[in-house]
Structure formats: C-alpha cells, structure tokens
C-alpha cells in the first residue's frame, strides 16, 4: 500500500470514508497525467503522418478533365514512339550514370558529335565502330589492325532500324578491366553486379552457357541489354540496343564505297580488295588449306610446289587472296581482305613489287594514299613501308630476300581469333 494509507491506520481515528477520499485524491494526478500524455501522442502522430496522407490522397486523386496527368502524357509519347519508330521515346535511361568511365553512353545520339578523337576501326558512312579515347590502333605487316586486348569500343548505327535517319551508340564493349560502369569492373564479383544492376532498374534473365561463350549475367532495361561474358577467352562487359533490319540490308557494309569496287586500271588481278565472294566461283583457283577463320587461294595460273621431301611449299612467285569476314573477324560474311603479290610481272595501279619507294609515293598519292612510317615487325620482315588509304592499305616489304606487295583492308579481331 501507499504511504498515506499506512499513516491513516496508525492514527486509528480515520474512518473508511475518509481513507477512500484520501485514496481518490492521491490517484487524481495520475489520471490527469495519462490524459495529457495521450493527447500529446495523438498530436505527434498527426504531425508525422499528415504529409504522407496528403501525398497519398493527391496520388490517387483523378486528374481534372481536359488536363491529363504527366504520367498519361508520357505514356502517350511512348506509344507514339512505338508506332512511328521515333527514338525520342526511348524506354532506356540514356543519361550517363555515376561512377562510369565512358566517353559515350548507350543510345546516345551522336549524329552531330565530332568523332575526330575516337580512332576509327571502320565506318561505312551509315554505321561504324570506334575505339574510345585514349586507345591506339596499330597495323601488322599485312596492314591488318592489331587489336588491343584491353579497350572500349563503340558501335554506331541508325536506330531503331538500320534504315532510319541519325546515328546512335547501339553497342558498347568493354574489355579494359579498369573501366567502370555503375562503379563495377570486370573484376567485380557476380553478386556485386546483381545487386548494383538491380538497383539501377535492370531485370535479370536466365544465365546462359555454350561452347563459344559463357554469359555470367544477362539483364535488360527497356531497350538495352547488358551482358557480362567470356567469349573466346576474353572477358567483357557488353551493352547493346537491338536494331532491326526491316529492309534486309546487308549489315551496312555494302554502303562502303570500297566494297565491290571495280578492279582499278593498270592492275593485273582476278579479284580486288573488299570484293564480296560469297557467290564467287572458285574454279580455276587453287585453295591453300590450313587457315583457321578464313580461306586462302592462289590466283589463277598459280599453284603450290613441293619441297625435297615432297611436302607442300609456296612457289617463289605467286598471287594469294585471303578471304575473311569484314570489318570484324566475327561479322559472318566473306570478303577479300588481303592480296599478297610476289610476282614482279603483276601490276597494281601500274606498280609492281619491284617498283621503287619513290614510284609508289608518286602514283599512290594520286589515288589518295598517304605514306606512313616505315616499321620493323620482326626478324622475318625487317622493313615494311605502308601507304594508307581510306578503306585499305598498300605495303611493300622484304621477307627472306623476296619483295612483297600487299593490299589489305584493316579488319578488327575483337575476340582474338587465331589464324
């Protein structure tokens, strides 16, 4: 019991009614305090949750007639874009995300962008492929590009269909392990990718594996697909936006002025560089077997010889055509991408493999070529001089004492196919 009841019992002259009155008086302050605390809690709850209640009411309040909400307007824009193919209604966020070390972003409109700082791998005028800034291009002895294993490449084309106007970034491939995207790199853990990419609005698909590539992550966000994969032993992050080809155009390459160009005057060849040979009749051309990822043929009238042991050997004088995909080794077509001539009787623009460097300078300059630096590639090819054209290069080299004239269309090899 409380202290007041103890005191009343000791006095002995306080009756029961007085004690009851004393107890009621003692409890009255506690009741008042509870009422005050209850009112204060109610006021606090109203202050905290009233903004949420107001926002919720506004969210579900119907828009006034004749003044559609912004959400409805955006939906109409997206629907119109889907009908007309207008890229203005992109379903992917085309702003550059934070913690990303790229010069361009997927689906960025680059129609009016100055690309002079981006090394060009190839450009047909309608589509093209470029290195990111800071990556260099090198040529081997045959005039083919030596692809850096660690780089960033941008694929530019019209979108959403290849026949549309404009030019957009429709593919980005990252093989440089130091380049970040959403703060992630090729060295990041799969669990980190899943977490960060999900936080940025991507939806994951099933994982995929086949004999040629391992796809660790496949995710979509609107029109953009993001993959983390290994292809032919190369780890990469790939972002792409699907581009339709409703007019069945030949993968854009036939628009290059160099493709299927006629054999130039004063040239003694059966085929010219960048001739599409998918329907070529190879009767009369002896095939040279052993090239992985392409095919090689002697020119008409030439053939192999045998050594003292009866094995296959190359003749001293010949013309050889190399057929591969173009502009990349994985493009899935067939073009003459290299012509090698050791026969001094065969002319190219009136020049032969025995012509002097000065003669090459004089004639090739007239045809729009510019002379590059003389380079040493190996002990087998002590010196090579290259004249670079817009779509292909011509070079002169000496190998094992034999002068060689080579014509080559630069071809990328992004997946390091071994020839």
Q: Is the pLDDT of residue 8 over 70?
A: no
Angle (deg, nearest 10), helices 16-60 and 3-11: 170
Q: What pLDDT was estimated at residue 184?
A: 95
245-250: long-range contacts, CB 8 A cutoff, minimum separation 24: 245/161, 245/162, 245/163, 246/161, 246/163, 247/161, 247/162, 247/163, 249/162, 249/163, 250/333
Confidence of residue 107 (pLDDT cuts 50, 70, 90): very high
Percent residues over pLDDT 70 in the chain: 65
Confidence of residue 329 (pLDDT cuts 50, 70, 90): confident
Q: Is the pLDDT of residue 391 over 70?
A: yes
Q: What pLDDT was estimated at residue 411?
A: 82
Q: What pLDDT was estimated at residue 19?
A: 36
Q: Is the pLDDT of residue 359 over 50?
A: yes
Q: What pLDDT was estimated at residue 78?
A: 35
Does the pTM of the predicted model rise above 0.85? no
For residues 188-197, average pLDDT: 90
- Which of 377 and 133 is assigned the larger pLDDT? 133
Q: What pLDDT was estimated at residue 69?
A: 34
For residues 121-130, average pLDDT: 78
Tell me the range of 44-48, 70-74, 251-255 where mean pLDDT is highest: 44-48
Q: Of 117-126, 318-327, 354-363, 409-418, which range is least confident?
A: 409-418
- Which of 215 and 359 is assigned the larger pLDDT? 359
């Amino acid at each position: 019991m409380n202290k007041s009841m103890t005191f009343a019992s000791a006095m002995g002259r306080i009756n029961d009614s007085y004690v009851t009155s004393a107890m009621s008086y003692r409890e009255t302050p506690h009741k008042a305090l509870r009422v005050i605390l209850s009112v204060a809690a109610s006021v606090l709850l109203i202050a905290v949750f009233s903004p949420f209640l107001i926002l919720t009411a506004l969210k579900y309040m119907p828009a006034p007639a004749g003044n559609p909400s912004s959400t409805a307007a955006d939906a109409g824009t997206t629907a119109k874009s889907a009908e007309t193919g207008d890229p203005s209604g992109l379903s992917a966020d085309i702003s550059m995300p934070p913690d990303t070390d790229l010069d361009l972003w997927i689906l960025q409109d680059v129609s009016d962008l100055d690309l002079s700082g981006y090394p060009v791998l190839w450009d047909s005028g309608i589509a093209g492929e470029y290195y990111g800034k800071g990556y260099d291009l090198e040529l081997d002895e045959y005039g083919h590009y030596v692809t850096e294993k660690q780089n960033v490449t941008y694929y530019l084309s019209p979108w959403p269909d290849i026949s549309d106007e404009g030019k957009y970034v429709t593919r980005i491939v990252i093989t440089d392990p130091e380049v970040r995207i959403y703060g992630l790199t090729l060295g990041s853990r799969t669990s980190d990718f899943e977490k960060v990419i999900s936080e940025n609005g991507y939806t994951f698909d099933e994982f995929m594996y086949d004999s040629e590539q391992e796809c660790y992550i496949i995710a979509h966000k609107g029109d953009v697909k993001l993959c983390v994969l290994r292809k032919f032993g190369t780890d990469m992050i790939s972002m792409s936006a699907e581009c339709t080809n409703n007019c069945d155009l030949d993968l854009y390459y036939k628009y290059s002025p160099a493709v299927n160009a006629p054999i130039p005057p004063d040239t003694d060849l059966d085929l010219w560089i960048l001739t599409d040979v998918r329907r070529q009749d190879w009767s009369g051309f002896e095939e040279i077997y052993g090239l992985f990822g392409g095919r090689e043929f002697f020119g008409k009238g030439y053939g192999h010889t045998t050594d003292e042991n009866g094995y296959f050997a190359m003749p001293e004088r010949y013309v050889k055509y190399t057929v591969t995909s173009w502009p990349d080794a994985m493009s899935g077509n067939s073009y003459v991408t290299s012509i090698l001539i050791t026969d001094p009787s065969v002319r190219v623009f009136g020049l032969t493999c025995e012509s002097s460097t000065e003669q090459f300078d004089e004639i090739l300059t007239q045809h729009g070529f510019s002379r590059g630096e003389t380079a040493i590639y190996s002990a087998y090819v002590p010196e090579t001089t290259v004249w670079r054209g817009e779509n292909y290069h011509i070079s002169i080299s000496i190998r094992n004492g034999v002068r060689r004239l080579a014509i080559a269309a630069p071809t990328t090899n992004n997946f390091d196919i071994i020839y």
